[in-house]
């Protein structure tokens, strides 16, 4: 089993719902915002339209019965819900994420709306084929990558939310394999952060102060998450 990505529902959306969501998403695609404004992923090849941001109300331009169905399904605080677009030629190289990692009490869910046979999505080195209308869990602490070598845009609804008891009821139960992975991921994060601090602080002493501030804010956020679970 691939513990980084696994299907939860093979028929989460009907064909009619998929078609209406696809029409909505494609119609809004020209208004999408690049996922990253700077850096190697700064491109309109990877962009998004917000559906929910930090628990706010669904914007009027995407308030449809189909979007309402998806959002209302979640019985946990939603930090982010978007239409994610990966245009033909778009590539996200293998990486891990801090947000969307179950160890940090966040998880991502994917609901494909439109894809094509030349989309290559890999998690832990294994190709994962996500068909339109299915419902998937994605733990971003596992190495994942995607490329669109086809001629059609890939569109997913992506939801990132808190891991509460309801959410845990959907996910794979912890076992020896997942616990070993969590230990490895924690060590990986610690090493990466330490390396970044040492290298960048040497180049710019102000970097250390900024990163320490970020670290404090992360610890405060993590503490709130633990307290909320209790």
pLDDT in tens, 92-135: 999 998 788 888 889 999 999 999 999 999 999 999 999 999 99
Task: Give the integer Cα–Cα distance in Å for 122 and 94.
Answer: 8
pLDDT at 83 over 80: yes
List the one residue out of 7, 6, 220, 10 whose CA is nearest residue 133. 10
Q: Which residues face 36 on adjacent strands?
A: none
CA atoms within 13 A on the CB side of 42: 4
Confidence grade of residue 225 (pLDDT, cut at 50, 70, 90): low
Confidence grade of residue 204 (pLDDT, cut at 50, 70, 90): low
- Average pLDDT rounded to a whole number, residues 181-186: 92
Alpha-carbon distance values, 20 to 17, 66, 126 (Å): 5, 8, 31
Task: Give the integer Cα–Cα distance in Å for 99 and 105.
Answer: 9
What does the block give as tokens for 3? Answer: 């513990």
pLDDT in tens, 33-75: 998 776 666 678 999 999 998 777 788 889 899 999 999 999 9
- Domains defined for the chain, CATH in brackets: 5-170 (2.60.120.330), 176-229 (no CATH)
């Amino acid at each position: 089993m691939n513990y980084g990505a696994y299907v939860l529902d093979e028929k989460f959306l009907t064909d009619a719902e998929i078609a209406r969501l696809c029409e909505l998403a494609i119609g809004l695609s020209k208004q999408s915002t690049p996922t990253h404004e700077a850096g190697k992923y700064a491109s309109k090849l990877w962009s998004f339209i917000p559906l929910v941001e930090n628990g706010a109300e669904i914007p009027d331009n995407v308030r449809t019965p189909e979007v309402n169905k998806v959002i209302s399904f979640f019985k946990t605080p939603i930090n982010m819900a978007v239409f994610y677009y990966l245009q033909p030629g778009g590539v996200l190289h293998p990486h891990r994420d801090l947000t969307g990692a179950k160890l940090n009490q966040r998880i991502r869910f994917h609901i494909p709306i439109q894809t094509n046979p030349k989309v290559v999505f890999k998690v832990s080195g294994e190709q994962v084929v996500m068909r339109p209308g299915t419902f998937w869990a994605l733990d971003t602490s596992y190495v994942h990558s995607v490329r669109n070598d086809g001629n059609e845009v890939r569109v997913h609804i992506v939801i990132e939310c808190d891991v509460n008891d309801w959410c845990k009821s959907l996910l794979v139960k912890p076992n020896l394999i997942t616990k070993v992975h969590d230990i490895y991921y924690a060590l990986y994060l610690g090493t990466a952060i330490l390396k970044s601090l040492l290298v960048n602080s040497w180049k710019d002493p102000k970097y250390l102060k900024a990163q320490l501030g970020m670290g404090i804010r992360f610890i405060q956020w993590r503490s709130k998450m633990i307290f909320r679970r209790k």
